[in-house]
Structure formats: structure tokens, C-alpha cells
Amino acid sequence: MAIPLSFQASPAPTSQAIAPEQILHEVFGYPQFRGPQQAIVEHVVAGGDALVLMPTGGGKSLCYQIPAIARQRAGHGVSIVVSPLIALMHDQVGALHEAGVDAAFLNSTLDWDETQDVERRMLRGEITLLYAAPERVNTPRFLSQLDSLRERGKLALFAIDEAHCVSQWGHDFRPEYRALTVLHERYPGVPRIALTATADALTRADIVERLQLEEARQFVSSFDRPNIRYTIVEKKEATTQLLRFIEREHEGDAGVVYCQSRKRVEDVAQTLSDAGINALPYHAGLDAAVRQKHQDRFLRDEGIVMVATIAFGMGIDKPDVRFVAHLDMPKNIEGYYQETGRAGRDGAAADAWMTYGLQDVVNQRRMIDESPAGEDFKQVMRGKLDALLSLAEASDCRRVRLLGYFGEKSVPCGNCDNCITPPQVWDGTDAARKLLSTIYRVQQQSGISFGAGHVMDILRGKATEKVKQFGHERVSTFGIGTEFSEAQLRGVLRQLIATGALAVDAQAFNTLQLTDGSRAVLKGETQVMLRESISSPAERKPRREKAARGAPSPAAAALDGTGQARFAALKAWRAEVAKEHNLPAYVIFHDATLASIAERAPATLEDLQGISGIGSKKLEAYGSDVLRVCSAF
């Protein structure tokens, strides 16, 4: 169906430079760029292509929003932001409106009339940033509209967010991203910026190849999130361990708990609710209206714990998530890093907590082995899983291991469980050799392989019915490992699997198989040093003094009594405005901005100028109200 158009005359592109710093201050209210932001922005404003790797919370969105505004002001027209995330579209468009920027989205939440209205405004050049999903961008209808913009010189920029989705090696591969090569082929003169928070070297190379970014300048920021404390514990009673963790360190805090199955999500959410924690479930099996309601509550209310599958979280910009917990092990480090990165976006102290066990290893191996993918792909996925296992089993600094995976060197952080409470390490070479020898001997005797429990029973001298059935009480290794506990042996098995000295055959009922790496261990050529099996860390004082439920956020911790009262009043006012605008409160002002206002105690509009997060539009829209709230103190 054709769209009736009434184009307005648009100014021709001008060579007059628009200072990015001016836009940063005037529109967004920030005093200065962070890290590589300025170099990225200047490169893209000038028309260059870029690949940007920046951690969650590092300010990726400004890297394309400011160039879009600058190029629009210079007469270059509309910028298209490609994103698969409806939640991100809604939040960022809402935030841009609050900052005085013309922005819109095209997604499934719009009806036909609304869609046509957005398209007309785009073609008339009334929109600075338009967010659209890759499926829509690739349609003939949308491409013809881009053609019209290009012919009039009104196509300013393509920003491809979540660029790791283009790679089959990435943790969230989406085939429709592959078709985005059309942007380079069809609009070669339009600059492109691809952005992601997670990509190892293999994924990065795939992004460059698939999006034809060979000539693009690459900007790789540090992957370190120093405010996040990483903790990984051995799974024993996972839900009980989680409950203890939340009650001890995060009572009343917002958090996300990831589980692998829908049923587990609902069970855990119910358990937490029964314990008095404000928890909600989220997974693809719930009615869409229920999912949206739960997501809205998580974004708009304080202290909500969302229990979810990985279907939840991408595009969620909530800054005050104080913890992310995994009750089941993710598939790879990229997924783990992306999900844990949703904690502490405001820069305040946060936790990434995970519990895992031998069954997690077995389940993940089985999913890889049973997938219909080719063997080359499976081999890469096994390598990625092995890297995550090594992180989980590490006795040295978690952060050094995590950053090392992304090619970044670092030193022990002092802010992970292994740095805070160094684990005891024991020489497990003898236990490892006995386990591998038992596996070898039972296979020789029976001609078939067996699972972990049976092998451990033999080694520990337990004459079970199954052991007797196969005559394995006559194996020479029967009972030679009685000095080892089952927990110790499970730890040995996990770490042998993690190092490749042992494999799990998912096609044969998760039985254990020797590998080429087993030989060196059996011959005593390789020492196997293992961390002690610890299911629950010792009680320790939290790194920050725990605030009572409903107390101010970490951003306001340094305020005096009057400042705290002023901050609380500002939060109450912000909540009313956010409700009125149907937006999350942090889209109006972040806690850090309210804390700065509360500290400064402004009496005039001039006093508000220069506070980070208050741009000219927000000063105009909310300045008087802020002064009114502050005047009470």
C-alpha cells in the first residue's frame, strides 16, 4: 500500500561542524565524555564506519545518539538504529523525548495507523533517530523508504546494536542479522556503527566479515566492571543457597535470577515470594500481557526480584539492579558476561552470583552434542563451554580469568570470592588418576561406559546392586578411594571435564569417556591441583553496610540527614512524574542526578545548570518543580 507523502523542504547538508561536546552537555546534561566515547563520536560524525565493543553500562547508546543528532543538525537527515529489543526501543525513545530529541520506533506494539504515521514522519525528515528490528529493516517496503531518503540525501547513519547477533559464534545468534549486509551494499555512502557489549576474538572477526566492516575503525574498551563482585559456589541446595544470599546481602534490593527452565523459574519465584521477597516470574510460556506487566513492575517499582529465563534482560537499562544470580550455568562466558552486566549499571556496588554443579556440566555438554549443528560448530561451542567451566573451577582471581577470555590482561581484583576468601587448594592428582583408571577398567571389563555416580561408587567401595550386577566389585580399583568424599570426587570430575581430561557422552546416557588428555594424568605427567569443595562460603561482612529496606540508593549514601530527606522528596516527586509519563523513573532522572541536586540544594535555575544528567530540555521541563521540592528544606 502506497503512503501519501507531503515532503517538507529540508536544508541541504552543511559543512558547518556541530561540536559533539555541545550536544553532550546541552541535550544530555553530561559534563564530559567517558573513555573512548569522544573518539568514537567524532569518527562517526565525520562519516566513518566503526565497530564498538563496550561493556554494559559503558555508554554505548551515546556513541550513536550524539552522531545522529549532530548529522541531523548538519542536514544529513534520519539515523536508523537496528535493534532486536522492544524494551530498549521503548526506553531509549522515551528517554530521547525527555531530552528533547525527535525519536520513534517501528515494532509490533504499533497498530497499522501508528506505523504509517511514523513512516510519514520519517520520510518528511521529522525524526532524528528511528529504531527498528532487523526483520523490518530487511523488508522491501522499508528498504524502498530508505531508498527515498537516500535519493534526497536524508539518510544520515545506520547504528547496528547488539551486533554479536550476526555471528554464529555469538551467544545470541539471530539469522535475520545476516541480511543486514544489504545496508553496506545498497547504501555504501552512509556511515555504519556496529555495537556490542560481548564478543571474543572469533565473534569479533565474524561481525567484521558478516557486516562487511573490514574498513571500519575498531574501538575496544576495557571489559572490566570493577563495581561487580563475582562469586561462584558449588551447587548443593540451589534455591536455599539463593535465599540465604539474598537475605544476607540484598534484602529489599532489585535483582535478576536466571534459571534454565520455565518450571524452575516459577518454582523459584514462588519460593522467594513465600519467603517474603518481592519476586516475579518471567519466561516465554507466560501470557504476553503478564510478561509485560511483570517487566513494567520491575522497571518502575523498587526492590523487585525478577526470576527469569534468558528471554528476559536484553535491552533493560534499569541502573539500580544490585545483583544478578544464576541458578544454572549459562552456555558460555559471553552469555554469562552479558547477563551479569545487567547488575550495577549505575556504577555502585553489585553482585554476580552463580551456583553450579556436575549436572550443569553434563546438561550443557548434552545440549551441544545433541544439537543438529555441524561438528565444527559443536567443537567451537565445546571450547566456549570449557572456558566457562575453567572460570567456575578457578582458584585464582575470577576477574583475571574473565577479562583474559576477551583478550584483556589484568591483575587480581580484590573484589571476587577467590580474592576475598582464597579457596584452599589440594593436590587431586591421586584422586584423578584413580577415577580415570576406574573408568578405563570398567570399560575394559564390561565393554560399555558408565556414569559418574557408578564410577564413584566403585572407587569408594560401595557394593550397590548395579555394582554387583556388572561384577564391578571385582575391578582392581574397587574401594581404593575410600579416603575421598563424594563431594571431593564430584569436584575432581568437574575439573577433569573442564580441562578436557574427561568427556561426557550425551548420546550414551551421559557416560564418562577418556580423552587424549586423560593419558598425561594417568601417567602422572600432569599435576591436578583442585580447589576444595565448598557449597556455601563462610559468613562474611558484606562489602558495604547493608541498608534497611526502603533506604536511599548508594548514590545518596554520602548525604547528610537533610540531604537524605531532600533526596527522598525528589524521588517521590520523580515517581509521580514517571507514572504520569508512563516511563521508568530513571528515564526522568537517575539516582545520581537526584543525589547531586540534593547535595547542591539549588535555589535558582542557574544552580541546577552543570549537574550531570540535566540537559536544557529537562531544565526547562522540570527545573521549577525541582526547585519547589527542594525549597521545603
Which tens digit of pLDDT belongs to each residue from 345-381? 988 999 999 998 888 877 887 788 778 888 888 888 8
CA nearest to 22, candidates 69, 59, 63: 69
Query: For residue 287, what pLDDT is reported?
Result: 92
Confidence class of residue 4 from pLDDT cuts 50, 70 and 90? very low
Residue 15 scores a pLDDT above 60 = no
In the predicted model, is pLDDT for residue 39 greater than 90? yes
User: Percent of the chain at pLDDT above 90?
Assistant: 60
Are the beta carbons of 79 and 130 closer than 8 angstroms?
yes
**Quick check: 60 pLDDT over 50?**
yes
Non-local CB neighbours of 625 within 8 Å, separated by 6+ positions? 573, 577
Q: Flag whether pLDDT at 551 surpasses 70.
A: no
pLDDT of residue 213: 94
Q: Which residue has the higher pLDDT, 168 or 10?
A: 168
Residue 296 or 354, more confident: 354
Q: How confident is the model at residue 316 (pLDDT cuts 50, 70, 90)?
A: confident
- Would you state the pLDDT for residue 526? 82
Mean pLDDT of the residues in the chain: 88
What's phi and psi for 578, nearest 5 deg?
-60, -40
At 394 the pLDDT is 86
Q: How confident is the model at residue 272 (pLDDT cuts 50, 70, 90)?
A: very high
Q: Is the pLDDT of residue 302 over 80?
A: yes
Q: Can you identify the CATH homologous superfamily of domain 554-631? A: HRDC domain (1.10.150.80)
Burial of 493 (0-12, 13-18, 19+ CB in 10 A): buried
Confidence category of residue 26, pLDDT binned at 50, 70, 90: very high
pLDDT of residue 314: 59
Q: Helices marked H in 152-180 — which ranges?
A: none
| pTM listed for this prediction | 0.81
In angstroms, the CA 220 to CA 194 distance is: 12
Query: CA angle, 553 as apex, 551 and 557 as ends, to 5°?
Result: 90
Q: Residue 574: which pLDDT band, with cuts at 50, 70 and 90?
A: very high
Query: Region 566-579: what's the mean pLDDT?
Result: 94
Question: Which H or E run contains 306?
Answer: strand 305-308
Are 96 and 64 contacting, i.e. CB atoms less than 8 angstroms apart? no
CATH number of the domain at 228-392+399-420, please? Answer: 3.40.50.300
The length of the chain in residues reads 633
pLDDT reported for residue 508: 62
Domain 425-531, CATH class in plain words: mainly alpha
* pLDDT tens digit sequence for 84-128: 888 788 889 999 999 999 999 999 889 999 999 999 999 999 999
Please state which of the ranges 154-168, 187-201, 209-223, 310-324 shows the lowest mean pLDDT: 310-324
Amino acid in the structure at residue 285: G
Q: pLDDT band for position 425 (50/70/90)?
A: confident
CATH 3.40.50.300 in the chain: give the residue spans: 20-220, 228-392+399-420
Q: The domain 20-220 is classified under which CATH number: 3.30.360.10, 3.40.50.300, 3.40.190.10, 3.30.70.260?
A: 3.40.50.300
| Distant-in-sequence, close-in-space partners of 517: CB < 8 Å, separation ≥ 6 | 499, 500, 501, 502
What mean pLDDT do residues 184-204 have? 90
